[in-house]
Structure 1
Amino acid sequence: MRRVSILAAIAAGTITMVSQMTAGQSADERLLGIPASAMSAPPHLKLDGPALPPFAYTVFCLRYQDECRTRPLFRGGPVLLTEARWASLKDVNQTVNRAIVPEPNEFGLATETWLIDPERGDCNDYAVSKRHRLMKGGWPARTLLLGEVVTVWGKHHLVLVVLTRSGDLVLDNLTPQIRPWSRAPYRWVRIQSPANPRYWNTVAPRSV
């Protein structure tokens, strides 16, 4: 499968997009199957200044120290999104979304606990479980970043952001689709630093 076919699947949730193309679209827009407004968005999140990590993440690092381990050398950037890697992302996203029974935290941040592969859990558990499985599968930790967002209904939410050369992708328990970050309907708050998983940064406002 060519890389452009992978991108088409990401952007539109299907590879067969011919029937949805319009004559007024550019070649890139037709290939990706997404509107021009989405094409104009930057493919990568831009990190801003340093931010305190969520308190629950600090507790998570005490419980799962290897998940937050700083690698001795930081090399490389986003990975090339090959057919095998795309299949890996889809498999992990689908498997974790199905394995954990949704159980929202009704008692606020003070009682929040982030667990890997629990039977029941909320968005935090889905995100850290996906990151854990992908790292075990050989994905570099620098490309798997936990990100805090705010939903359109005002709820703080955790997702996993995967850095690829084709763009930053969002794995989310609220949808089965893997989306480019610019198509996730969220306000971005803070995200892990790719250089050190214990450090977090704010996210610069998107400019298009």
Structure 2
Amino acid sequence: MFGFRGQGKALAVVAILLGLNASAYAADERTLYASLGDTTRAPIGWVEFCAENPGECRGGAAQPRDIVMTQAAWRDLLRVNHWVNETIKPMTDMDHWGVVEKWSLPTDGYGDCEDYVLLKRKMLIDAGWPREALLITVVRDKMGEGHAVLTVKTDKGEFVLDNQNENVVAWTETGYRFVKRQSQSDQNVWVSLGDSRPAAATASARDH
């Protein structure tokens, strides 16, 4: 359904990735999910999205699950991130819908950052990935603006799929400040990640 150019480069990255010692991610200062704060308010637009798309927001307590990062799983992440970033064209919610903030699956081919995230998450879930390992995350980007990314929780650490980056990278390599994310135990519960400054759910879409 989606192609990826540069398979050789991807396999080289996999070889490096799978050769990493898992203990490299064990230190508390490098583990985002060791520093979760209190439950917090869902991003603006999430509740309305769930009301319109209940199948995408199945709630209730769930057992946290991490992905085993095999070569096939890594290739899936690369393909999905690349395909969505190349296929969906950036457009702000104001230009798209005439409102400041609206979460939606970009079925018409246009969206801003949270819409990219929703589509990547849906594609991975439809491919059999557990939603408990696919966490919508609100960050502050390098300009200090609100932005949404998809965090993938694995046995090799936490990786980020981002419409501002064609590569899939460890969360520590993004340069972002992490504000809040979905709870791994309940997708409709959001938890603080330590940045106390108020943030809008997402920034305007921008070219990737």
- Is TM-score (shorter-chain normalized) higher than 0.5? yes
Alignment match, 1:115: 104
Q: Percent identity among equivalent residues?
A: 31
The answer to whether the Cα contact below 8 Å between 1:43 and 1:166 also exists between their aligned partners in 2 is: no
What pairs with 1:85-164 in structure 2 (closer than 5 Å)? 85-105=73-93, 111-118=100-107, 119-164=109-154
The answer to whether the Cα contact below 8 Å between 2:93 and 2:102 also exists between their aligned partners in 1 is: no
SS at match of 2:81: helix
TM-score, scaled relative to structure 1: 0.75
The answer to whether the Cα contact below 8 Å between 2:180 and 2:192 also exists between their aligned partners in 1 is: yes
SS at match of 1:48: coil
TM-score, scaled relative to structure 2: 0.75
SS at match of 1:112: coil
The answer to whether the Cα contact below 8 Å between 2:121 and 2:134 also exists between their aligned partners in 1 is: yes
Is 1:62 paired with 2:51? Answer: yes
Structure 2 alignment gaps of length 5 or more: 1-8, 196-208
SS at match of 1:130: helix
SS at match of 1:177: strand
Q: Relative to 1, partners in 2 of residues 1:76 and 1:191: Cα closer, same or farther, differing over 3 Å?
A: closer
Letter of the 2:147 partner, please give it.
H
SS at match of 1:47: coil
Larger Rg: 1
Q: Distance in 1 between matches of 2:177 and 2:64?
A: 28
The answer to whether the Cα contact below 8 Å between 1:149 and 1:187 also exists between their aligned partners in 2 is: yes
Q: Relative to 1, partners in 2 of residues 1:60 and 1:124: Cα closer, same or farther, differing over 3 Å?
A: same
Of 181, 185, 191, the residue aligned with 2:181 is 191
Q: Distance in 2 between matches of 1:202 and 1:93?
A: 25
Alignment match, 1:21: none
SS at match of 2:180: strand
The answer to whether the Cα contact below 8 Å between 1:171 and 1:178 also exists between their aligned partners in 2 is: yes
Q: Distance in 1 between matches of 2:14 and 2:82?
A: 18
Task: Give the deviation of 1:116 after TM superposition.
Answer: 1.2
Letter of the 1:184 partner, please give it.
T
Q: Which moved more, 1:116-125 or 1:131-140?
A: 116-125
Letter of the 1:101 partner, please give it.
K
Task: Give the deviation of 1:111 after TM superposition.
Answer: 2.5
Partner deviation per Cα, 1:161-188 (whole Å, 9 max, x = no partner): 0000110100000010101111111111
User: What is the CA RMSD across the aligned residues, in angstroms?
Assistant: 2.9
Q: Distance in 2 between matches of 1:40 and 1:77?
A: 20
The answer to whether the Cα contact below 8 Å between 1:41 and 1:182 also exists between their aligned partners in 2 is: no
